[in-house]
Structure 1
Amino acid sequence: MKKIFLLLLVPALLMACGNQNQRQGNVTGAKSAHPEWAYNAVIYEVNTRQYTPEGTFSAFSEHLPRLQEMGVNILWFMPIQSIGEEDRKGTLGSYYSIKDYTGVNNEFGTLEDFKSVVQQAQDRGMKVILDWVANHTSRDAVWVDAHPDWYVRDSLGNLNIMYDWTDIAQLDYSVPGMREAMIEAMKFWIRETGIDGFRCDVAGEIPTDFWEAAKDSLILLNPDIFMLAEAEKPELNESVFDAYYAWDFHHKMNRVAQGKEPVDSLRVSLQRMNDRFPSYAMPMYFTSNHDENSWNGTEFERMGEAARSFAVLTYMLPGMPLIYSGQEVGLDHRLEFFEKDLIEWKDKSGFSGFYRELNSFKKQHKALLAQEQDGEMTEIANDSPGSVWSFRRVNKENEVVCVFNLSGKTVNVKFNGKVPGKGFSSFPGDSKALPVDEMELNPWEYRVYSK
């Protein structure tokens, strides 16, 4: 049985924490908790509307060779179904206000077009997952008239609205018929298009027993189904979901980058995930996604000069890294959510090579595998823990050593021993690294070594 040991450095204290990587036998009944292709995977979020001038599946397919070369493994398509018109937001509406679960938004093309892009991606060795909005529909969805009792109602009998989502109607999960229809709709996409799984929107708002029933049905169609929860709710990952959003860690990265919290907040966040979640649950780390980009700002607005360092960190921790559409060219624009707003595919700062190198590095090193197949993670003690996070990941003969200055000041840091050690090479590139017991790091500078 393997363990991850994360030594949390706080003043006058080294606190060890463990994450035991032991497969739980009732996860899927398979040999592993997750599909074998998931352990070193990089997930890429596709915003079809903003991806090309045409905004179609067919136009997006022209980018598949580039994404394959970049090292993307999983394509996550934001919802592709038809969008409601009643109380629609903006001109084109929200992807997440779905009118018909088995219909295709003609803005993007046809069902045959989507099947084609799925097949092309899979032929290139990539997997495809579809965003699934099980919590609500549009206010004029086909189910509203056909099954009015499938919805939550307010005290006046009106369709219920959650938060400021005025274009949606909340579904009622106390109704067995609705649950059955929802599962049938999910099965439709696996049968008809051959997708490899789902990213499930606001998964924590939906009863866990629904997801359990859905998973039981879906694995009969695809035993290697991959499920990502937009939630940070441990019980969802006990028997249904492979991965989850590392929301807390993401927010901590933003606050550390802004000088509002110390580096210890990242250590504590990671500790909390290890303590709360099943040992085999994969956190998905990200510096941006569709919500963050459109509503809270680009990674450069939120993280400034720290954006690259935190992107690298998302690859070095046990879990799965995410790239959002346009990040690979350093997109520095908040994309409109309800209107056409084309991504400018011009790489001004070398981000294409940056992500290509990161993806390649992750795949070359077993030490960077995700939960259940990962090895030991140990913090390397240093005299500047308030600014510098230094750690190693070891999986059998493979070792990766990371040093991050997560502060806006230059730091001369001393280690308790030689870093990175003998026989290491520097990343990027493969130049020989000399062991040292101290080094000077510029603001937000990172150094990564491997052997």
Structure 2
Amino acid sequence: MKRKLAILLCGLSLVACQPKTNVGQAKESERGKLVVYQVFTRLFGNTNPTNKPWGTIEENGVGKFADFTDRALDSIKALGVTHIWYTGVPHHAVIRDYTAFGIDNDDPDVVKGRAGSPYAVKDYYNVDPDLAVDPAKRMEEFEALVERTHQHGMKVIIDIVPNHVARNYHSISKPDGVADFGENDDTSVEYKRDNNFYYIPGESFQVPVAQNGYKPLGGEENPLSDGKFEENPAKWTGNGSRKAQPDINDWYETVKVNYGVRPDGTHDFDSLPEGFDSAGYQAHFNFWKDKDVPDSWKKFRDIAQFWLEKGVDGFRYDMAEMVPVEFWSYLNSSIKMKNPDAFLLAEVYNPSLYRDYIRLGKMDYLYDKVELYDTLKHIMQGLGSTDHIAPIQDGLADIEHHMLHFLENHDEQRIASPEFAVSAEHGKPAMVVSTCISTSPTMLYFGQDVGEPAAGNAGFGSASRTTIFDYWGVPAHQRWMNGGAFDGGQSTPEEKELHQFYRTLLRFSSKSSALIGNYREIHSYNRENSSGYNDRLFSFVRWNDDERLVVVCNFSDSETYSFNLKLDPQTIDDWHLSDGDYTLTDALTNDRQYRLSVMNNKAHIDVVLTPLQSFIFQLD
């Protein structure tokens, strides 16, 4: 069988660490890594450039399910994407009159923005009416989108937000026999196991006191915008506030769901047996099937099953660590029994909880946010050293496949924003490292590939993050959309070049078998043995029986570095390299000018790495 030796070069800061082998298993793909495309569904297809702060749909426009045309999906698939995470699908609170469709109006005093937060879900059995051409047929339009996505060879992920629901939760679409959240609660007590919410008996909810001149809808007149919202007794707020009047910085638009966790933190449900961290999902399912569990557990199980029946292939779970791991064992095992290949991604920010939520909670993937993302961000900003990267991978070696990598998402600042790195070019070496350092999936946020800076203030919130609260257009993405052609016809040359970089890198990752194989960092070896190699550079190797990769990248935005990149003796031995010169082809540019020289158990590549440059070399 013909072998390929690929060598990736990227510039980063240094971490002293001994060479180490780490084998990751990517069972989902026999060819390469999974690539997730996160799209904010409401914004993706919007071609309106007005962008008036607090603007209405009529003023600013809104994207629809129908905007994900065959051409749009082809353009996403061309990025190497395997899964699309359609963010903001379940029906959430929104300031728009849909009473003609049987939907009650939401109160601006407990809604963030005009279009509303997608994480304040108001009806789990339907979709956001804003996203439909005909709101009366909104579910049918979503089902058609799922079918189109599948026809293009990609899978569908949507959000489930188990920790909290909208303050005004009311499902008008729930199946017969299904009770709303809180419908059967005993509101006379703070806590009861089968209550869906926590209560503050004897006190009514009060709207938070505004700060810094904030006014709902920017001060626009609205019949419900009166500083009042009827809720008696008051419920605990989504982030755990137990005050009848939460702070303006609390998640006041939501209420916390009760999972059988008493107010003192003790649990009112069974614990998993010793050793269940190594048990499969079938054993977890069998453990729970005869257990009496809190009512909220059953409600979210039924919600997940409902969406699986609609053809959804997986879920992204918001703030999963705020919900007990036993619930996740219960929920995820039931999902896997229905669809063993379901893609389950969780937002967990406490590294001490990672292994519990993966092994006991049966999550497939967690955000690698507080370690790899935060470290790469500091390096991209010129504040950190690449020396901190290798220890992260060493520390996560046993779970590295489960730590999904990203550089942007709806919660984080855009790379090109002044508050982050100013230029999207700074993301290039970080993206090569993020994509290639482990077997885990890579996530790309829409607009990242064309350098969207999120410069405008849409209303609620502030610039640097693309709004998730208001109606808005995404200018760099709109230029790439080119009125529905999705060909970059209005993009700048810089945007086109950046898109091509992302496309080439992600397509390579989706096909490279080495990226689901072995890993060893050679950064430390080069720091000790290669003159001119410094802590703005980072390097590592990836390989399997058929393909071999070396990664080296330059994170400096001003310096060109010339040096001999060296392979450590263990890698030379593992790769069975014989003496001689090998021709290398850079997979990002198809340039074949580089050579790997091997002599007497020493190997090096003469490298000239310009600012922010990365290579992927392949040896025929």
TM-score range, shorter-chain basis?
0.7 to 0.9
Q: TM-score, normalised by structure 1?
A: 0.86
**Structure 2 runs not aligned, ≥5 long:** 1-11, 47-61, 94-105, 133-137, 171-179, 186-194, 204-232, 240-248, 261-292, 455-464, 480-490, 597-603
For 1:401 and 1:266, locate their aligned partners in 2 and report how far apart those are by CA, in whole Å: 16
| Pair 1:291-2:387 in alignment | no
| Pair 1:152-2:232 in alignment | no
| Pair 1:178-2:296 in alignment | yes
Please provide the CA RMSD for this pair.
2.7
- How far did residue 340 of structure 1 move? 0.9
SS of match in other structure, 2:89? coil
Q: Say whether the 8 Å CA contact 2:437–2:519 is kept in structure 1.
A: no
2:471 matched residue in structure 1: 340
Aligned residues: 422
2:306 to 188, 193, 204: 188
2:331 matched residue in structure 1: 214
User: Is the deviation greater in 77-86 or in 156-165?
Assistant: 156-165
- How far did residue 220 of structure 1 move? 2.6
For 2:359 and 2:387, locate their aligned partners in 1 and report how far apart those are by CA, in whole Å: 28
Percentage of matched positions with identical amino acids: 24
For 2:112 and 2:295, locate their aligned partners in 1 and report how far apart those are by CA, in whole Å: 29
- Shift in alpha-carbon separation, 1:49–1:10, aligned structure 2, 3 A: closer
2:124 matched residue in structure 1: 101
Q: Say whether the 8 Å CA contact 2:38–2:445 is kept in structure 1.
A: yes
- How far did residue 444 of structure 1 move? 2.2
For 1:355 and 1:134, locate their aligned partners in 2 and report how far apart those are by CA, in whole Å: 33
Q: Say whether the 8 Å CA contact 1:75–1:128 is kept in structure 2.
A: yes
1:114 matched residue in structure 2: 142
- How far did residue 20 of structure 1 move? 5.0
Q: Say whether the 8 Å CA contact 1:263–1:385 is kept in structure 2.
A: no
1:26 matched residue in structure 2: none
Instruction: Specify the code of the residue in structure 2 equivalent to 1:200.
Output: Y
SS of match in other structure, 1:450? strand
For 1:406 and 1:9, locate their aligned partners in 2 and report how far apart those are by CA, in whole Å: 7
2:164 matched residue in structure 1: 136
Listed one character per residue, the Cα deviations across residues 371-419 of structure 1 (whole Å, up to 9, x for unaligned) are xxx2233425323242211221111120122111223433333333599
2:547 to 398, 404, 424: 398
User: Is the deviation greater in 147-156 or in 357-366?
Assistant: 147-156
For 2:522 and 2:512, locate their aligned partners in 1 and report how far apart those are by CA, in whole Å: 18
- Shift in alpha-carbon separation, 1:361–1:21, aligned structure 2, 3 A: closer
Q: Say whether the 8 Å CA contact 2:520–2:541 is kept in structure 1.
A: yes
For 2:341 and 2:36, locate their aligned partners in 1 and report how far apart those are by CA, in whole Å: 16
2:358 matched residue in structure 1: 237
SS of match in other structure, 2:473? coil
- Shift in alpha-carbon separation, 1:36–1:443, aligned structure 2, 3 A: closer
SS of match in other structure, 2:316? strand
Instruction: Specify the code of the residue in structure 1 equivalent to 2:89.
Output: I
Instruction: Specify the code of the residue in structure 2 equivalent to 1:429.
Output: T
**Structure 1 runs not aligned, ≥5 long:** 1-7, 23-32
Instruction: Specify the code of the residue in structure 2 equivalent to 1:170.
Output: K
- Shift in alpha-carbon separation, 1:208–1:415, aligned structure 2, 3 A: same
User: Is the deviation greater in 67-76 or in 149-158?
Assistant: 149-158
1:412 to 562, 582, 587: 562
- Shift in alpha-carbon separation, 1:398–1:34, aligned structure 2, 3 A: closer
1:379 matched residue in structure 2: 522
Instruction: Specify the code of the residue in structure 2 equivalent to 1:134.
Output: P
Matching of residues 270-289 of structure 1 within 5 Å: 270-274=393-397, 277-278=398-399, 281-289=401-409
| Pair 1:61-2:69 in alignment | yes
- Shift in alpha-carbon separation, 1:385–1:128, aligned structure 2, 3 A: same
| Pair 1:440-2:608 in alignment | yes
- Shift in alpha-carbon separation, 1:57–1:257, aligned structure 2, 3 A: same
For 1:332 and 1:417, locate their aligned partners in 2 and report how far apart those are by CA, in whole Å: 38
For 1:270 and 1:278, locate their aligned partners in 2 and report how far apart those are by CA, in whole Å: 9
| Pair 1:361-2:508 in alignment | yes
2:250 to 160, 164, 172: 164
2:99 matched residue in structure 1: none
1:310 to 421, 430, 435: 430
Q: Say whether the 8 Å CA contact 2:30–2:513 is kept in structure 1.
A: no
| Pair 1:44-2:37 in alignment | yes
SS of match in other structure, 1:103? strand
Listed one character per residue, the Cα deviations across residues 313-349 of structure 1 (whole Å, up to 9, x for unaligned) are 2221112111111122221224222111112322322
Q: Say whether the 8 Å CA contact 1:57–1:117 is kept in structure 2.
A: yes
User: Is the deviation greater in 338-347 or in 240-249?
Assistant: 338-347
Listed one character per residue, the Cα deviations across residues 6-28 of structure 1 (whole Å, up to 9, x for unaligned) are xx9968x6424454547xxxxxx
Instruction: Specify the code of the residue in structure 1 equivalent to 2:259.
Output: Y
For 1:210 and 1:39, locate their aligned partners in 2 and report how far apart those are by CA, in whole Å: 32
- How far did residue 442 of structure 1 move? 2.4
For 1:154 and 1:19, locate their aligned partners in 2 and report how far apart those are by CA, in whole Å: 51
